């Protein structure tokens, strides 16, 4: 097969992977959102942009977050994704299928971005294989159900990493303007997720690398500063038009403890390998594949040091970040680097073991085997339809009935205590605190939910009843709504 025919074959293979990934993602779409209520905050911010009441929403969220015993997130997320959602909403409406279909688009853009980035570091055929590992991964495809930052940020950040490489191939804008524009691009990425700022580390590191596997001469100071200048100018302008997004992240730093650090240190390095296992036996996958990935990163360090440092900085950030229990979700945007380092490691081992035929064949076949397993799992979803359904979610009959009762039978200024405050705020328009026992001191209503998936940490009802006078006003199979009538002993004291 000649070079031209081979190129056409690889192009067809890439297109097939992209189309198959899109079909898989579409087949796994569900007709609900889960109780993980970050999506509710993003939707409220998007609607606030269109309604012109972003400051009102920020005030309400500030009260909910700062009054709650547990702070579930910032007062406002960075405004990049809400702005995207607002554009989707004003053009096509806020229908659930519309929002999820755009997520499928971001997933497919991530596949194409991965292919373009991988071409810079490996052969064309292997670059298609790296992209296929993203496109055929059923867990990533299924994540199209979650209207959050993971897939948009993955697409944007990988394109930014590709732009860093493009800067060093020569640009029609020249070295100065291209680096200034790179800083602006990184600023755009940060509007989706704040840790996009780590791309500046990758951009700076890349200036010290050459494309010939050797360290080059020290770059000029102006070249190093320009991306930061472009980033600073864009960020200042963005903050002027969209103030407050992500500002309250600083408050969360006070929640860092030895427990959070230890828990995250044990969680995230293994969670990386959920990419291969969807959360099942990821420790085994880590033992088998981590050495290959590390070898690939070290062997190609003179070319990929900026990618490796960006990967490590991202991992380190989430280990330090006090939020626990997020697992693989936070690491989805670095999945393309996981696939790339695995392929580079297998290539390097194939060369190293060239004299040992069977070991060389095993190393060469490993990434194809991973892609094949992904394909088989995705084919299952394509043939048989949706993934296993979650029976308990904000759109089920019990949740819908509870929300409706709240809207129709409680005053607009009532304050509730519920395990998912942001989803509750979206569906009812009522202010809501978290569901710790002490939250009832500032709530007029308390909603006790059955201890189902996602709500396992809720204290037993007896702990609430021991401290507060609660009057049951509504009940269905999953929820009980109580009117909070003060602490135990207050009514008796007042009667004397």
Q: Is 254 exposed, middle or buried (0-12, 13-18, 19+ CB in 10 A)?
A: exposed
Each residue's pLDDT, cut to its tens digit, for the chain (496 residues) gives 566 677 889 999 999 999 999 999 999 898 889 888 899 999 999 999 999 999 999 999 999 999 999 887 788 999 999 999 999 999 999 999 999 999 999 999 999 999 999 999 999 999 999 999 999 999 999 999 999 999 999 999 999 999 999 887 766 667 788 999 999 999 999 999 999 999 999 999 999 886 544 445 667 787 889 999 999 999 999 999 998 877 667 777 777 889 999 999 999 999 999 999 988 889 999 999 999 999 999 999 999 999 999 999 999 999 998 887 677 889 999 999 999 999 999 999 999 888 788 888 999 999 999 999 999 999 988 888 766 677 889 999 999 999 999 999 999 999 999 999 999 999 999 999 999 999 999 999 999 988 777 777 889 999 999 999 999 999 999 999 999 998 876 544 443 3
Predicted pLDDT at 391: 80
Q: Is 447 helix (H, G, I), strand (E, B) or coil?
A: strand
Q: What is the pLDDT of residue 254?
A: 76
**DSSP, residue by residue, 187-224:** HHHHTT-GGGGGHHHHHHHHTTB-SSSSB-PPPPHHHH
Q: Is 129 helix (H, G, I), strand (E, B) or coil?
A: helix
CB count in 10 Å sphere of residue 167: 20
User: Cα angle at 273 between 312 and 112, to 5 degrees?
Assistant: 75
What gap in Å lies between CA 116 and CA 165, rounded to an integer? 10
C-alpha 221/C-alpha 207 separation (Å) is 10
DSSP 144: G
Phi and psi at 233, nearest 5°, equal -65, -45
Q: What is the pTM of this model?
A: 0.92
What local confidence, expressed as pLDDT, does residue 493 receive?
42
Q: Compute the Cα dihedral for 204, 190, 102, 87 and give only its sign.
A: negative
Residue 221 confidence (pLDDT):
81
| pLDDT (0 to 100) of residue 494 | 42
E strand or H helix at 15, and its extent? helix 3-27
Contacts of 391 (CB under 8 A, 6+ apart): none
Phi-psi region of 486 (alpha: psi -120 to 50; beta: other; left: phi over 0): left
Phi, psi for residue 209 in degrees, rounded to 5: -110, 155
C-alpha closest to that of 332 among 372, 282, 278: 278
> Which tokens in the block code for residue 80?
């990049």
The answer to whether 182 and 159 are in contact (CB under 8 A) is no
Strands 479-487 and 445-449: antiparallel
pLDDT at 395: 93
Report the pLDDT value the prediction gives residue 454, as an integer from 0 to 100: 73
- 96 C-beta neighbours (distance < 10 Å), count: 16
β-pair partners for 483: 445, 471
Helix (H, G, I), strand (E, B) or coil at 473: strand
């Amino acid at each position: 097969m000649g070079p031209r025919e081979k190129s056409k074959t690889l192009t067809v293979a890439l297109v097939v992977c992209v189309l198959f990934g899109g079909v898989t993602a579409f087949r796994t779409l569900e007709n609900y959102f889960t109780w993980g209520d970050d999506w509710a905050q993003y939707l409220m911010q998007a609607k606030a942009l269109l309604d012109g009441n972003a400051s009102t929403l920020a005030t309400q969220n500030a009260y909910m977050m700062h009054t709650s015993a547990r702070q579930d997130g910032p007062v406002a997320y960075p405004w990049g994704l809400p702005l995207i959602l607002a554009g989707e909403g004003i053009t096509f409406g806020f229908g659930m299928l519309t929002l999820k279909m755009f997520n499928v688009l971001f997933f497919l853009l991530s596949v194409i971005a991965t292919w373009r980035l991988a071409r810079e570091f490996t052969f064309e055929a292997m670059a298609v294989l790296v992209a296929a590992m993203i496109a055929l991964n059923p867990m990533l495809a299924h994540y199209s159900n979650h209207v959050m930052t993971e897939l948009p940020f993955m697409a944007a950040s990988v394109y930014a990493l590709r732009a860093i490489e493009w800067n060093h191939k020569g640009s029609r804008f020249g070295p100065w303007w291209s680096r200034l524009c790179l800083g602006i691009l990184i600023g755009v990425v940060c509007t989706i997720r704040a840790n996009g700022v780590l791309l500046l580390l990758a951009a700076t590191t890349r200036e010290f690398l050459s494309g010939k596997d050797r360290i080059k001469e020290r770059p000029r100071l102006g070249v190093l500063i320009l991306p930061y200048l472009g980033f600073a100018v864009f960020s200042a302008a963005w903050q002027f038009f969209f103030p407050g997004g992500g500002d309250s992240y600083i408050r969360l730093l006070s929640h860092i403890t030895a427990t959070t650090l230890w828990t995250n240190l044990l969680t995230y390095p293994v969670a990386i390998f959920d990419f291969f296992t969807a959360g099942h036996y990821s420790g085994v996958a880590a033992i088998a594949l981590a050495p290959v990935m590390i070898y690939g990163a070290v062997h190609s360090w003179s070319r990929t040091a900026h990618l490796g440092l960006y990967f490590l900085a991202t991992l380190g950030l989430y280990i330090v970040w006090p939020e626990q229990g997020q697992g693989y979700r936070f690491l989805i945007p670095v999945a393309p680097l996981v696939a790339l380092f695995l392929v580079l490691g297998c290539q390097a081992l194939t060369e190293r073991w060239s004299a040992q035929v069977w070991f060389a064949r095993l190393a060469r076949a490993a990434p194809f085997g991973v892609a094949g397993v992904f394909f088989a799992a995705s084919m299952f979803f394509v043939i048989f339809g949706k993934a296993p359904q979650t029976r308990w979610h904000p759109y089920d009959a019990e949740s819908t009935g509870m929300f409706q009762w709240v809207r129709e039978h409680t005053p607009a200024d009532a304050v509730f205590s519920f395990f998912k405050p942001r989803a509750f705020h979206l569906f009812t328009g009522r202010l809501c605190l978290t569901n710790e026992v002490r939250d009832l001191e500032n709530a007029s209503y308390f909603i006790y939910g059955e201890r189902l998936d996602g709500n396992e940490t809720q204290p037993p009802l007896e702990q609430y009843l021991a401290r507060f006078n609660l009057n049951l006003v509504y009940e269905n199979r999953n929820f009980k709504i109580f009117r909070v009538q003060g602490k135990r002993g207050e009514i008796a004291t007042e009667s004397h």
